[in-house]
Structures are given as C-alpha cells and as structure tokens.
Amino acid sequence: TTYAQTATLSISAKNETLESVLKKIEKQTEFLFFYNVADVNKDLIVNIDKQNSDIKEVLEEVKSQTGLKYSIKDRHIVLTNSRNHDNTYNRIQSVPQSGHLISGVVKDKSGEPIIGANILIKGTTNGVITDLDGNFSMEVPADAVLQISYMGYINQEVATKGQKQINVILIEDTQKLDEVVVTALGIKRQSRSLGYSTTLVGGEDFTMARDPNLGNALSGKIAGVSVSGNATGSGGSSRVIIRGNASLTGNNMPLYVVDGVPFDNSNLGSAGQWGGMDMGDGLNNINADDIESIQVLKGAAASALYGYRGGNGAVLITTKSGKKGKPTTIEFNNNLTFNTIYDYRDYQKVFGQGTYGSRPTDAISAKASEMTSWGEALDGGNAVNFLGDTYKYSYVDNWDSFYRTGINNASSVSISGSADKIAYRFGISNVYEQSILPNSGSNQQGINMNTTYDLLSNLQLAVNANYVFEKFNGRSNLSDGNGNTNASLIHRGNSFDIRWLERGSATSNWGTSESGSELLGGTNVYFNNPYWLQYRKTNDMNKNRLTGSMNLKWDITNWLYVQGAVQRDGYNLDFKQVQPVGAAADPSGWMTEYSKSYSEINLNYLVGFNKEFNDWSVAATFGGNRQRNITKQYIPSDGGRPFIIDGLWSVNNLGDKRAAKNYTEYQVNSIYGTADFGWKNQVFLNLTGRNDWFSTLSPANNHYFYPSATLSWVFSDAFETPDWFTFGKVRASYASASNGTAAYQNLLLYKLRDYTINGQHTITQNNNNQYPNPDLKPVRISEQEVGLNVAFFQNRLSFDMAYYRKNTKDDIAVVSTSSASGYTSKVMNVGEIQNQGFEFMVDVVPVKSSNFMWNTTLNFAYNDSEVKYLGGVAQLQIDGASSRSGNVSVQNVVGSSYGELIGHKYKRDDKGNIVFKNGIAQADDKLSSLGNGVYKLTGGWNNSFKYKDFSLAFLLDFKVGAKLFSGTNYSLFSEGLHKNTLVGRTSAEPNANIVGVGVMDDGNGNYVPNTVGVDAQTYYQGITSNNIAEEFVYNASFLKLRELSIGYEFPKTLLGKIKAVKGLNVSLVGRNLWTIVKHTDNIDPESAYNNSNGQGLELNGYPATRSVGFNVNVKF
C-alpha cells in the first residue's frame, strides 16, 4: 500500500484559488505539489468540499474544474495542463524542419530523480518540467541549448547537438547566496542579510575520507579555521583555532554547539613537558554519519550572541533529522580504513649501536649503549646484545616488528521518515578502532535521535538526544620517554632488535624477565620495554556521554513565536592505569584510578518577531539563558602506591589509600536580544546585545554587556548589472565578546595536611601558589570585520573575502609575583593582544555538462598577531609550555606574535661564525627567539569531479609560517641516529676527530679559526649538551594531500532489479595520503605532542599514519 491509498483528507474551499487549495492539502498531508507556474495558472478558482476522502477523489474534482492533469508518485504530485501537449508548455509554435524530439532524465548527485526541474530552450520561453521520475521530453531545434534549473541547485546548460537522449546531474548550489542559515542561538536568517563571515560545510564532507576526530576533519576546509591534528595518537584531541589566538594563556578554542546544545570539548588530559597521555576531547564523540552540516561562525560579530562564550567563534553542528514529506529511508554506511605508518624517518643506517666508535662486545657495554648509535660501521659481523647473545651487526627496523596496521571500522544505520505529525531520525553507530600499537584500541557506540512532534498545528516539540559510549585502552604516553612506547622504539640503538625484549608471549608476561620484573635492554629505568608498556602496564578509559535537548516552539501568529528549551550535555568518565609490581622505575608498582563527571544544563527561552512593512522588514528576538556547569572528580590522592601484594591491581590493594575529591561549579545567567532591519531586501542592519552575569566574579562587578552591530548591502540589487554579474554584497561589523572566567579564581583556599605534627593537624594557606584576585573581570574581545561577496556567471565563479582585526584586552593571565609576597603568581587582567587577518575563498565550476562536472574551491587565510601588553613584563611563558630538554619554552613576548619559541642559538662572533670552545660548539649566552609556533597562512584546495556515475574528490591542505622545535631530533642527534651526525664519521674511523667550522678564543679574547678537533660523538653530543636549540628548530610549513575519494553511484537502472534498494554508493577513500612539501627531518611537521596553547614543541609522538579504505553507503 502506498501513502496515497491510505492518506485521507478533508477539505472545503469556496471560491478559493488553486494555490490556496494546494497549500491546504500540503498542510494536512505529506503530499507535495509540483507544477510549472508558466504552465499552470495558480489563480484558477476552485470550489471543493470533500470530507475524509482520499487524494484521488480530491484531485479528480480539481481536474474536473480546471482541466489540469495530475500524476502521483509516493508523496509527490505533479500537475500539468492537459490542454498542452504532455507536460510541455508554451507549445512550440513552429517546430523547425531540423527539429526533433529529445528526452532525458534529471537527477541529483546521489542519483535521486529531481521532480519538477525546469528545462528551457535557451533564448526562448519554451520549456517543460520533469516528471515524477525526473524524466522529460520535448521537441527542440537542431542546435538547441537546454537550460536546466531547479531551486537550490546550480543551473546547467546542455547543448543538445542532435542527441535524442540526455542525462543531467544537477549539483547542489553550495553558494546558496539566498539560503537560510542557522546563526547564533539557532536563529535562522537569510544568508544575504548577514554582515559577517560564516561558512557552511555539508555533512557529506566528513563521511568519506573521515577522521575519528571531527576537529581534524575540518582541516583545510574553511578559510580562517586552523586545525592542528597533532601526534596525539588515535583517540587523541585536536586543536581548532578560528582567526588566531585571542587569549594569551586562557582558552582559545571555539564554542561547539550540537543541535543548539553547548557541547564540551575540553581536552581530558594531555602530555606536557614531563610526559602524560592525550585523553581525547569531545569531538571524538560525534559520529560523522549523523552530521547534516556544520556552520562555522568565525568572527565575534557572528558569535556575539553567545556573549562570554563567543570570543573564539562558534562551530554549530546540526545533526540529520527526519523531514516532513520525505519517505521512510533506511541508510546503512560502512567506512573501513586501514592505517599504515607514514614513515618520515630518515635515520643513518651506516653505524650501529655502540659508543665512541666501538660496537658492544659484552652485555655490559650493550646495556650502556642501548640508546646510542655511535658504534662501528654496520658490517654484519658479530656483536653482543644486552642478554650476552651474539648477533649480526646490521641495521634493524624495529617499527616493522612492533607496530601493526591500524584498522578503523565505522558502521552506522539510520532510519528516518515521518508520520502524521511526527518526523524522526534514529541512528546507531559502532566505531571500532585497532591502534597501530599492539593491545591498544577503542570501541565507540552511539545512539542518535532527532524527532519533531506537531502537538498542535502551531505548537512544535523537538526532542534530540545523542548517547555515546566510548572505551579506550592501551594509550601510550607522549613527550618524555618514561612510559612512552613510541619513544622506546624511536631512540633505540640502530642494531638493537626489539624482539630481544619480548621474552614470553602476548598471553604470558611479554617484556618480563624471569624474575618477574620489566626486562630492560639497558640501564635507564625510564627507557622502557615497549612490550611491558603495551602488555603489562595498562590503561583503560570508559566514557558515557549524553547530550540532549527538548525544545518547544509556539507560533502565536505568522509573525510572532515563542520557544523554550532544556538542554544538557554531560559525561561520566572512568580511568584506570596500572603499573604492575616489577616495573623498572617503580619496583613496587602503582596505580591511579579516577572517576569524573561533567554536566552542563542550559535553560533558555526566546521570543521572536518578524514583520514586513512596505520596503522594510523588521525582525527581533529577545531571550534569556541560565547555565549551570558542574565537574566532579574522585581520585586517590598523591597517586596510589605501593601495592601490598603482587597481582591484585585494585585500589583495595594499596598500602596508602586516601581519596580526594575535586568539585567545580559555575553559573552564568544571561539575557539577550536582536533587532534586524532590512530595506528592500537589499540593505540590512543587525544589532545584537547580550548581558551575562557570572557566578565566578565578585557580586560587585559580575555582569558584562556584549553588543554587536553589522551592516550589509547587496549592491548588485541596487544597480543595473550585466548578466554575468550575478551577485555582490559588501558587509561590515563590530562586535564585543569574551571567553569567560574559571570558577574560584577569586577565592583564597587553604590546604589541610593529612599528617600530624606533634599530634596536631596543620593547615596552610595554599592556592596552588596562585593568589586569587577578587577584582577579576572577564577578558574583553572586540572585533571589526569588513567583507565582500561577489558571484559571476550564475554562481559559477564566486568570491568571499574578509578582513578582520580582533583586539583582546584585560586578558586573564597568571602573572609571576615575588615569592616573598607569599605566592609566586597571581591572577590578573593584564594581557593585550591583537589578531588581524584576511580570508579569501574562491569557488569555481569550470566545467559543467550533462556528464562531467568539476567544482574547485580554494580557500586561504592569513592571520598574524601582536602581543601588545603583559602588565609591565616583557614576556610571559605559556603555562607548561617547556620542552622536555628544558632548552626551549613557548613565551608571549611584547611586540611579537603569539607563541614565540625561546631558546639558545649557537654562539657566534660578529661575523656570524660559530664559536667553539675546546672543539665544542657553544650556546649563545642569552636566550633569543627561534621563531614562532603558530602558522600564519593556512588553507586548502578542494576539488570534486563527477563523470556520469563516477565521482572523484580530493583536498590539498597547507599551512605556512610556523616553526617547530623537534625534541625528537634533538635526541636523535645526541644518540647518533640523525643523518646529519654522519658528517665526519667514516667506516675506518667511526669516531673520527671533527674540527668544527668556526672560531675559538685564542686565550686573549680574540677569535681565531677553530683548530681543536674532538671525536664525533663528543662533537655532536656537545651541541645537545650545550642546549643549543637552534639546530632543531624546523620550518613546519607543509602541503599535504589530505583527502581523496573515488566513488561510484550505482545507477537506478542497475538497481532496478532490487526494488528495495534506492541507492548504492561505493567509494575508495584515503586520508593523509601524501606529504608533498615538508621541511622537518624524521617527523611529520604536524607532530606537536599536545593541543595546548603552547604550540611548536614536538617530542616522541605517535608515528603519523596514512589511511586507505572503503566507504559503502546503501539506502533502502
């Protein structure tokens, strides 16, 4: 049975127009009418009175009165004028002799027929519309050019050239200059009226060559959005920065909003100078298959309505939902990719493990040289390993032996559809990931629900929920070598076979010595056995996350509505890490286990008003929000150790067990409003204001106002423009925003000791050495923006440009104070920084024909910043941003860009020669800037091709203008693994004397050419031991082939036999396929070990991976 057979309707219309009758039917049912206004006169008068009738009865009545023909397919009804021939209108007066009949079919990209598309013979008013199967036929002159158009799609012209049958694929108009876009707080506005820059990315851009972290998937797609997908491993976090870093030490990440619900994206743990693991962020929990679109609000003007949360821009994620009138669809998608290591290593393979030019000849010398490759030339002769066994002295690539191919398999099934008063979509997903590290991986299950209910004809309830269960095990530490599986593979001697460290099997005590302790290949207890780390030392994380909302909207009249919502985002996380008894660095073992819960509830309302008065349109909203945010954590204090007995890895087995609890709560109350004025749909003025009250500030100064004003002018409507000039708009805006304050920053805390002194407990005034500031204010960010949109040739060529200047004042920074004050720091409003930049996007459709289509989009953005003021000090270190080796830190320096890398250069004389002392290169006495860790120019070049049923898309991603201090290369130098350390070493004299090129002090304070030679190992290790950082600072610019997909859409004709299947697409997908340009030795330029503010530091991250696989999409 079809919908038409079951649906009933009641309609009574007296002397009403056809248009009004059709609207009444559409309102009561799920039917949609298609007709061509040139063919069907919608002002025909109809009288009709049918109660509980089926659609056919009603349409027969219409037909009898108007003579219009109808045809029904599912929920689509096409009306045609029966007086005309078929569905051809404006019947061709005289068909030229050379004319002929042409027929064809119009479909969209996914192979769905487009019903009601207009086919017009160019230069005439003659045309037809497509029928229910997208088919059309008409008589045309010999050299006719057909213009095919449909709302929301790019117009297409096809030269008939005598063909009798043509197939047209219409491409959705991504420009959509007149589309309705979702802006801050979910308020819908016409794109043309916006006075600021926003970019929409469709969900399909995330499903093919996908990245498990949605943040990384944004890379290269949007001008002005800079993504650092770092070496944090699978399940790691991403850093998404829009228009530069506006806060010196605070949060610089945008606000994420999923279906209207603010979505926490905090990094749940990251590596620092002394190591640690990346625990991922919130964007891991969004399934690409559920995304309808992502709208990025870049500037403060766009996100001003988010008030204190809008200072870094906003990313609005809309998930897929059921649509009224669409048939029930079941969609299955499977994305299977294989991740192999993109090996950037280029080690020297000439000299093997050893020291000072000697190979290990006994177990003791083997242990002493575990991490050095300063041995003899690898000749395949005999050497002895740490076990005392003799082996063949040759190069070993341990990565092959240890790492495995990673697998990502994301499956999802969704069902969407609609019934009488309900539209729905339910999706379930399963993401399985096998890490490249053995015994490590993740599993994530998600349930997504998106429903709307028409409680009354003007009262709509929307209920959305997204539940995710995530499980991750076997994460490796990053940065520092301790507990870092990757480090234990990167730095091992050149001829050391990692398999010597196995002993046992995967099921029984890998990496464990006979005595039950960690089997080490050397003497450094912090340079671990990777088998021990992956099989004995364990870590597990479980996370349950529920994000959901209920939204009630009441359309009081057609110009006034009220809505209210309850929204909640929350997760519970359990983490357990066990270092068993026997660990080299901790023989008695330790464990940590904690549970953390996070929740944020927002209650809000909005009253909206829309009305037009002659040339003027006025829209206004007024609303309010209550936000309550709570984080709780229970954790054994001071880490749990030691284990009382061996083998029970539980907190119940800890000798010292005390629990600690941390709790953070804050609230923000807000009211906001907007006023939008339009004149002739051509000039638009939009004003917004928001006032926030913060619980985190002293009551005397706890509320702040954030205004914005934008102006835009569609000048192409004001003047007579030539045909090829399709659209032009200029825009300007000013806005003020913030990024809030953290809880308890104005509260002085004390700490209770858990031991007694002479029988008494004591309490110390302690605030993590940070003195609170009762007069704290939120940071103030203001931004000015001007922009231009132009489009030519029916949008086949369009440009979008923006220039902005963003000023941050009163930035909250932790400022060093004299320890004699009682604290070494205090929280202050001191920072001033300016970001300015330019964004550019060009979208071109160079080729567009019935069979072939090419769409290319280039975007790039340039951002530079200047630190203006730091409260009187010249520089301020970004919290925790110090290299493991201690010789480079990331600082904000007055007068420089955000995030300078500060360290020692080579000491040089006036002429620039390196100064040597005793044959060793010397470090400059003073610290200097080695470059900046933030990319200045970022962008991407996106291409999509379509040939018949085949499609090809690729994305080139580039970033330019940042420096990276490579801690890995620093160590590789000292270990003799870096290729540059080959200079001076020969097979005959593996530790030959090297006389450094430069100068030395002649003893009287004069520089003379250096004549002192030292052996190779001492020479190169002198550079690292003198902490010369300059040698290891690299240009981090790169160009990568980020995404590639090749797809085939099975045509309907092929699928026709399987009635149930509506669509089938099979694609070959790849990600991070080719690094076309890079300048970093041995590592991926995108290798920072965390996603914190201090960018530009790299050490011992996960190897980069390249993923290749398949995507299969089936629609039923």
Partner 1 sequence: SDFADVNIDPEHINEGNVPYEMVFSNAQHQALGSDWDVWRNGCILSGQWMQHLTSVDWWWNYGLYAYSDGYSGALWDGIYAGDRGAVRDVTTVLDLWKDKEGYSIDYNMARVMRVYTMHRLTDLYGDVPYSEAGRPKEFSYPKYDKQQDIYMDMLKELDEAQANLGSGVAKMGDHDVYFRGNAAQWKKFANSLMLRLAMRLSKVDPSTAQTWVKKAVANGLITSNSENVKLDHPGGVTTNDSAEPYAKIFAHEDKEFFLSEKFVNELKNKQDPRLALIATVCEDPSISIQKSGYQFGNTNPEVQQGLPGGYNISKNSAWYIGKKIVNFDPQNYQSKYSVPNRYTYSDPTSPTFIVTYAQTQLLLAEAAVRGWVSGDAKTYYENGVRAAMEQFAQFPNATKLYQQYVTPEAINTYLTANPFDGTLEQINTQYWINCFCDEYESFSNWRRSGYPALQSTYDPANPYGLSATKGSIPRRFAYPSTESQVNTKNYDAAVSGLSDGDTFTSRIWWDVK
When the beta carbons of 508 and 764 are compared against partner 1, the nearer one is 764
Q: At 143, give phi and psi (nearest 5°).
A: -100, 30
> What whole-number distance in Å separates Cα of residue 1073 and Cα of residue 1104?
11
Beta carbon of residue 618, minimum distance to partner 1 (angstroms, whole number): 35
When the beta carbons of 544 and 669 are compared against partner 1, the nearer one is 669
Beta carbon of residue 808, minimum distance to partner 1 (angstroms, whole number): 23
Beta carbon of residue 755, minimum distance to partner 1 (angstroms, whole number): 4
When the beta carbons of 8 and 631 are compared against partner 1, the nearer one is 631
Q: What is the DSSP letter of 171?
A: P
When the beta carbons of 71 and 595 are compared against partner 1, the nearer one is 595
Beta carbon of residue 693, minimum distance to partner 1 (angstroms, whole number): 7
Q: Which residues contact 830 (CB under 8 A, 6 or more apart)?
A: 810, 811, 813, 815, 869, 870, 871, 872
Tokens in use for 792?
A: 């030519």
Beta carbon of residue 598, minimum distance to partner 1 (angstroms, whole number): 16
- Asked if 944 and 855 touch (Cβ cutoff 8 Å), the reply is yes
Tokens in use for 872?
A: 């009187």
> What whole-number distance in Å separates Cα of residue 233 and Cα of residue 237?
8
Beta carbon of residue 768, minimum distance to partner 1 (angstroms, whole number): 9
> What whole-number distance in Å separates Cα of residue 709 and Cα of residue 731?
11
Beta carbon of residue 760, minimum distance to partner 1 (angstroms, whole number): 5
Closest by Cα among 313, 324, 336, 293 to 251: 313
Give the count of beta carbons closer than 10 Å to the beta carbon of residue 508.
9
Angle at 703 between CA 699 and CA 708, to 5 degrees: 175
> What whole-number distance in Å separates Cα of residue 315 and Cα of residue 297?
6
Beta carbon of residue 580, minimum distance to partner 1 (angstroms, whole number): 20
When the beta carbons of 506 and 874 are compared against partner 1, the nearer one is 874
When the beta carbons of 185 and 827 are compared against partner 1, the nearer one is 827
- Residues of this chain that interact with partner 1 (CB under 8 A) are 656, 661-667, 669, 693, 695-699, 702, 743-744, 746-766, 769, 771, 816-824, 826
> What whole-number distance in Å separates Cα of residue 1042 and Cα of residue 1029?
31
> What whole-number distance in Å separates Cα of residue 181 and Cα of residue 161?
40
Beta carbon of residue 269, minimum distance to partner 1 (angstroms, whole number): 20
When the beta carbons of 911 and 926 are compared against partner 1, the nearer one is 926
Q: Which residues contact 1060 (CB under 8 A, 6 or more apart)?
A: 1116
When the beta carbons of 142 and 874 are compared against partner 1, the nearer one is 874
The most distant pair of C-alpha atoms in the chain lies apart, rounded to whole Å, by 115
Beta carbon of residue 58, minimum distance to partner 1 (angstroms, whole number): 59
Report H helices in 296-362. Answer: 300-303
When the beta carbons of 826 and 959 are compared against partner 1, the nearer one is 826
The full DSSP string for 1058-1114 is STT--EEEEEEEEEEEEEEE---SSS-SS-BS--SS--SEE-S-PPPEEEEEEEEEE
Q: Is the peptide bond before 141 cis (omega within 30 degrees of 0)?
A: no
Tokens in use for 738?
A: 């913030």
Distances (CA, A) of 236 to 284, 436, 485, 866: 8, 13, 16, 30
> What whole-number distance in Å separates Cα of residue 494 and Cα of residue 502?
18
Q: Which residues contact 27 (CB under 8 A, 6 or more apart)?
A: 457
Beta carbon of residue 1028, minimum distance to partner 1 (angstroms, whole number): 21
Q: At 234, give phi and psi (nearest 5°).
A: -65, 145
When the beta carbons of 749 and 983 are compared against partner 1, the nearer one is 749
- Asked if 717 and 681 touch (Cβ cutoff 8 Å), the reply is yes
Amino acid at 200: L
CA-only gyration radius of the chain, Å: 33
When the beta carbons of 389 and 638 are compared against partner 1, the nearer one is 638
Beta carbon of residue 796, minimum distance to partner 1 (angstroms, whole number): 55
> What whole-number distance in Å separates Cα of residue 382 and Cα of residue 1057?
69
Beta carbon of residue 255, minimum distance to partner 1 (angstroms, whole number): 21
When the beta carbons of 73 and 703 are compared against partner 1, the nearer one is 703
Beta carbon of residue 638, minimum distance to partner 1 (angstroms, whole number): 9
Amino acid at 880: G
When the beta carbons of 64 and 758 are compared against partner 1, the nearer one is 758
> What whole-number distance in Å separates Cα of residue 632 and Cα of residue 574?
12
Q: What is the DSSP letter of 276?
A: -
Q: At 256, give phi and psi (nearest 5°).
A: -105, 135
> What whole-number distance in Å separates Cα of residue 66 and Cα of residue 13?
15
When the beta carbons of 613 and 750 are compared against partner 1, the nearer one is 750
Beta carbon of residue 828, minimum distance to partner 1 (angstroms, whole number): 9
Closest by Cα among 127, 162, 99 to 35: 127
When the beta carbons of 599 and 943 are compared against partner 1, the nearer one is 599
Beta carbon of residue 697, minimum distance to partner 1 (angstroms, whole number): 8
Q: Which residues contact 585 (CB under 8 A, 6 or more apart)?
A: 482, 525, 526, 528
Q: What is the DSSP letter of 354?
A: B
Beta carbon of residue 491, minimum distance to partner 1 (angstroms, whole number): 26
List the strands of the sheet with 118-121, edge to edge. Answer: 88-89, 127-129, 118-121, 145-149, 156-159
Give the count of beta carbons closer than 10 Å to the beta carbon of residue 607.
17
When the beta carbons of 167 and 695 are compared against partner 1, the nearer one is 695
Beta carbon of residue 458, minimum distance to partner 1 (angstroms, whole number): 36
Give the count of beta carbons closer than 10 Å to the beta carbon of residue 698.
13
When the beta carbons of 719 and 750 are compared against partner 1, the nearer one is 750
When the beta carbons of 702 and 1082 are compared against partner 1, the nearer one is 702
